[in-house]
Amino acid sequence: MTSKSTAVKTARPNVVEIRDVSKRFVLHKDKSLKERVLHPRRSREHRDDFWALKDVNLEIEAGSTIGLIGPNGSGKSTLLKTIGGIIEPTSGAVYSRGRLAALLELGAGFHPDLTGRENVYLNAAILGMDREETESRFEEIVDFSGIRPFIDTQVKFYSSGMYVRLAFAVAINVNPDVLLVDEVLAVGDEAFQKKCLDKIKQFQEEGRTIVIVSHSLPQIVELCTRAVVMGHGHVIFDGHPEDAVSILRAGFDSADQAESEQGRLERDRARIEEIARRRQLVQITNVTSTPSEGEDLLPGSTLEVAVTFETQLDLTAWDLTVALVNQLGTTVLVTSTHVSGLKNAPLGIGEHTINFTLPNLSMGAGEYLVTTTFLDDQRHELSRREDLGGFRAVTGPESIGPVYADASSTFLD
């Protein structure tokens, strides 16, 4: 896995440079095309300019993996399409070098009346591969997609899962220098998703450059060497993925529509600077669970979770949460000091350890991770650890699922 320490500047060349890029869309308020034709002057009066991007400047170094995150409508997907040349900026310029592949709208070049085999050649040509190169990679593409029995069937008879699997398999095998990915790492079943992530990690090991748009924040932290937070078409933050995710989770985005764009931007950046400063002053240093990793939690047992943290702040309002996460990344239980007996207890400077007791647990069988988060009085995330603490739950065959019950059945007649 790529090390996060590479978030600092290195001497590697830039493969993408974004210079003062802005993108404007015109929003028509007319209800129909007929109104626009019959009343062109009224149409001009009832339209607004929407700036999806405003004066964006970024440099992307060779071999880095960049995550673009932000609320819906913040401009991240528009920025990715601008990098890929799919959208022309209204002003500014994008410079790139090397072969670029974009996993944006999978299967956009597929024709429903052609077979899977024919669409592989068609889509590969659209993505810049010649016939000889496609033929040399054809078997690898089909194997990756996992739909070999249907490769000579017209794609209009494919399920949606088969469709995107084949499209992803083509795009990922273009052998790009720069790969752009927009929310497509969730296609297919769990096994195929793992295959996609393994391919992304292989690209990282080969030194390729990757730009990812995703709402999966743990995925951004896991995969990226750097993350950019977008808001109102601007770059709000550019730095370490964990800091970027914490800033986004803190909810920097303003709901005050009356506030000027510049005022909102300045306020958001000031909040981010303050959150970033406070994050340096609180650190979760250790998490242990009993039973611990490799040991068994039996139905009805008690789980103890001890969280140690250091703070350089005197706090009267704060919260510490503990979450249990299963192998699929699903949170199955959350508790915190607020709801378990230590709400707003005075907290002085120094090291502290808090022990959580979770009695009578009956978890579904499997491995679990313990995620801990320290929040300040504004519910801003100051520290988070997902890599410490874990255990294994063991159950009988009486029931399956995230919760275990010692089930029994009897006749009533």
- 35-86 pLDDT, tens digit each: 666 666 655 556 677 888 888 999 999 889 999 988 888 888 899 889 888 8
Question: Which residues of the chain does CATH 3.40.50.300 include?
Answer: 4-98+177-273
What's the pLDDT at 255?
45
What's the pLDDT at 261?
60
The string of DSSP letters for 280-335 reads TTEEEEEEEEES-TTSEE-TTEEEEEEEEEEESS-BSS-EEEEEEE-TTS-EEEEE
Condensed to tens digits (0 to 9), the pLDDT of residues 274-332 reads: 777 777 888 999 998 888 777 788 999 999 999 999 999 888 888 999 999 888 778 88
Question: Which residues of the chain does CATH 2.70.50.60 include?
Answer: 282-393
CA distance 313 to 123: 56
What's the pLDDT at 5?
37
Condensed to tens digits (0 to 9), the pLDDT of residues 143-189 reads: 988 899 999 999 889 887 788 788 888 877 877 888 888 876 666 66
What's the pLDDT at 267?
67
CA distance 62 to 12: 6
Q: Is 27 exposed, middle or buried (0-12, 13-18, 19+ CB in 10 A)?
A: exposed
Does 110 or 136 have the greater pLDDT score? 136
CA atoms within 13 A on the CB side of 151: 17
Among residues of the chain, what percentage have pLDDT more than 90?
19
Does 284 or 388 have the greater pLDDT score? 284
Confidence of residue 251 (pLDDT cuts 50, 70, 90): low
The two three-digit tokens of residue 6, written as one number: 């590479």
**DSSP letter at 36?**
H
CA distance 208 to 218: 21
Give how far the C-alpha of residue 319 lies from the chain's centroid of Cα atoms, to the nearest Å: 25
What's the pLDDT at 6?
38
Residue 3 has pLDDT above 60, yes or no: no
Kindly give the residue spans of alpha helices, DSSP state H, lying in 180-257.
190-205, 217-223, 241-249
Out of 2.60.120.10, 3.30.70.260, 2.70.50.60, 3.40.50.12710, the CATH code matching 282-393 is 2.70.50.60
CA distance 212 to 68: 6
**Across the chain, what does the average pLDDT equal?**
82
Radius of gyration of the chain (CA): 25
pTM for the structure as a whole: 0.65
What's the pLDDT at 31?
58
Residue 377 has pLDDT above 90, yes or no: no
What's the pLDDT at 45?
58
Beta carbons within 8 Å of 339's beta carbon, 6+ residues apart: none
CA distance 89 to 79: 9
What's the pLDDT at 372?
92
Phi first, then psi: what are they for 12, rounded to 5°? Answer: -70, 150
What's the pLDDT at 24?
87
Q: Tell me the CATH number for domain 4-98+177-273.
A: 3.40.50.300
